[in-house]
Structure 1
């Protein structure tokens, strides 16, 4: 702040327009304040040195920012985690989580149903870094146990797989991972902490694309990583030597400095800060605003989705509906166990008429917007085979249950009767 003696000579215009003015009155805000600043001043030489010695306080937004910190703490509290890290996108969140746990020569064991961006990261980018990946379908503990290797460092699943809702038994898979001291990472983007908190079922790390339901309005990008705060150095230190070894300069290890928070400390300081996928404070602020209405939106979206899935399931033009909330779903028992508040609002349906029918339906809709986004308050629709899943072979598409007539729906908070009428219009066009 500008500190000057009253007797000092006047400053020039350019200087005065740049220097901050002190405000003596205490200022309090009912909402999270927005600190839209690249960096923060120190109170002199010793304050700067103390910050770099301890890490306390704020210096640079890539490292920490008060607005971002406030939203991180709220997300951690909603998930029942110990600490959270906000980054620039959901893709950044999954990349930071994986890169902080597995390195060259390591192995990731993943659920067969994954977001295409995550699948590409594993099969293309991490593979070039010497990280191997295997996929396991279903929840049979013996199948997961048989696929674990000595070099496995991450077990990765989605809480509600996109787009087919083929749920997995999180607790059963967590038990297998923990038998070997391996971290279980759960992408809970489609579930949100309102419907499901994976840490309560054994997850070690939870990731979100905050761009989706957490923000809700479809205006910003963001990602979140939440850690359970349960890193056990005695049990798992040999698998993650970068957490238990002394620092590069011979100083104390992550575990010595942070104890059971060593894992999230490394994800923050050793990966996110160095790679730099920083979220804008403005985006963090808007994610925080979205969090305040999360339960209201997700409750409405889940109820709308169940009504629409039920309507589609009974329609003669629809071959199948993949929604875990339907009584006919093979995953209904898992939904009852893990998703009693609602089964989410993103699911797939497949039309009898194939790709031609899908095209006619999408082009006839007035309320559903064709977009790659999801989790918006507005209803969205996409044809995966010609958009998000174009890199898959025919055999891979068939294994994933993505047919020529498969559509992905993300249901919003509109009046459900209006959405049903819009789909009736689309289905009439699809079968014309």
Structure 2
């Protein structure tokens, strides 16, 4: 496609603005970032995007619509992985795009596929014809036609069933995650915990503003024993599933440096929040006391 991505610390608004040039077509961020669970300041990023005349695309997978509605914070488009919390059980591969309908696709000339005549549809101008639904209709008429992404009916069925219990599950996810994070924070084997729901988190104020109902259940923690201790810890767990997915009703664990991020250099791992001493947890909806007991025995084995 000839696309280029520039990675910028979205907490550094000057850096975000500095990365924008005449070729920039969108800003992209996560509401709650994977893997560390950091909270993005959506309102501030929306301001940067608006001043630049660009759409802000927000991945709201980890927060879900229950914990955050990014359009209310200025997002143009919101995307979700249905594989995660929406379905809740890891049985579906799919995604969702939600269009706010608020962006002027014709203002800058940067989006000719929406503002200019489309030859395949007899010169139809999507923005002129469909207005606030221009992106949605273009995604179906052109995107679906050219790229072929079609959700299978059973996946749609599973997702709709999952969404029925989303609010109940997210409340339990958040309660469990806070309990586990607080326990880990007080454990002498743990160097630090990144959960934004902790009172000690540098993102605590932002979490309360962006995700007032909770900071979801994805976060990392670092072990003082380093890489080897992390590997022993993961192998010693009983209740946690060793899986690269997240947002499951079951609690999941992964040591990125020895699995998903092992091909990266040390500097790249650290920059990605996946340092050798870091473990990522996705806390499920089991009993919190059982999860803490499992973590406790695994940490004891890792220390040995």
In structure 1, the residue matched to 2:116 is 245
Correspondence 1:327 to 2:204: no
Alpha-carbon RMSD across the aligned residues, in angstroms, is 1.3
Q: Are 1:346 and 1:408, in contact at CA under 8 Å, matched by a contact in 2? A: yes
Q: Are 1:320 and 1:350, in contact at CA under 8 Å, matched by a contact in 2? A: yes
- After TM superposition, list the pairs within 5 Å mapping 1:413-428 onto structure 2: 413-428=285-300
Q: State the Cα deviation string for residues 64-99 of structure 1 (Å, max 9, x = none).
A: xxxxxxxxxxxxxxxxxxxxxxxxxxxxxxxxxxxx
What is the deviation of 1:166? 2.4
Correspondence 1:185 to 2:66: no
TM-score by length of 2: 0.96
In structure 2, the residue matched to 1:3 is none
Q: Are 2:106 and 2:127, in contact at CA under 8 Å, matched by a contact in 1? A: no
In structure 2, the residue matched to 1:158 is 30
CA distance in 1, matches of 2:263, 2:47: 33
CA distance in 2, matches of 1:279, 1:202: 28
In structure 2, the residue matched to 1:58 is none
Structure 1 stretch 132-141 or stretch 376-385: which is displaced more?
132-141
Correspondence for 2:74 among 183, 202, 209: 202
Correspondence 1:141 to 2:16: no
CA distance in 1, matches of 2:106, 2:274: 44
Aligned residues: 303
CA distance in 1, matches of 2:275, 2:11: 23
Q: Which has the larger radius of gyration?
A: 1
In structure 1, the residue matched to 2:190 is 318
Correspondence for 1:224 among 96, 99, 111: 96
In structure 2, the residue matched to 1:28 is none
Q: Provide structure 1 residue ranges, at least 5 long, that are not aligned to the other structure.
A: 1-128
What is the deviation of 1:234? 4.5
What is the deviation of 1:138? 3.5
TM-score by length of 1: 0.68
CA distance in 2, matches of 1:269, 1:334: 38
CA distance in 1, matches of 2:150, 2:171: 30
- 1:391–1:183 distance in 2 versus 1, CA, 3 Å: farther
Q: Are 1:231 and 1:262, in contact at CA under 8 Å, matched by a contact in 2? A: no
- After TM superposition, list the pairs within 5 Å mapping 1:249-288 onto structure 2: 250-288=122-160
Correspondence 1:304 to 2:176: yes
Structure 1 stretch 141-150 or stretch 331-340: which is displaced more?
141-150
Look up the SS of the partner of 1:136 in the other structure: coil
Correspondence for 1:350 among 209, 222, 227: 222
In structure 2, the residue matched to 1:374 is 246
